[in-house]
Structure 1
Amino acid sequence: MAGPVWAQGYVYFQSGNTLYDTCTGNLGGRAGACFGYVTGVIDGITNAHVRRGSKIPFCIPAGVTKRQVADVVVVFLAANPAERNIDGAHLVRVALIRAFPC
């Protein structure tokens, strides 16, 4: 993975482009890295909202697997190539909100 990218005053380590490449196998079929990143973003968002006492912005149903969540993100990234230059965590969040509304 490349080093951090600075954008709009903050740093991120994974753009939507590198996340898409990782999840689709364009970087050597690194499914574990894809699942780890996506689930880490989910855990981070969930933890931040729980700690603040605010509503989690998506509602993933019980029984949904890591692969399913990663597939949702890949479909979103494939359908929105013009947005893949921005940070991957934001794109994961948007994909989940659209796929799993509360």
Structure 2
Amino acid sequence: MTIQDHPSFAAQFQRLFIWAWLIDTGLFAGSLYSLKHHYMMLGWTLAVGFGVFTVFILGYGYYQLFNITCPNCGGLTTTQKDNAQQIWIAKCKHCNVAWNLKIGTKRID
């Protein structure tokens, strides 16, 4: 089984993380600001929104990580962490290719 870099997953996953982090930070800061200035209803609404959005984005990130299609054949892959190399790999059984998702802690060339 050969290891190839996935052409688009890392960029999509990082873009999702950056936008989610910005929105979550805005909700949290808005909640703190509103509660400090006695806008209780708005502050608690933003606080609940922060919690709900955080749970949603964690669930969506999990879904996105474990539902990757193969760029070669379009089939579903099996995602797993390779502990020896500290990378995430999506294995396609149809093409016999392991896709390096480029979101681990080490870089392999």
TM-score by length of 2: 0.31
Larger strand percent = 2
Larger helix percent = 1
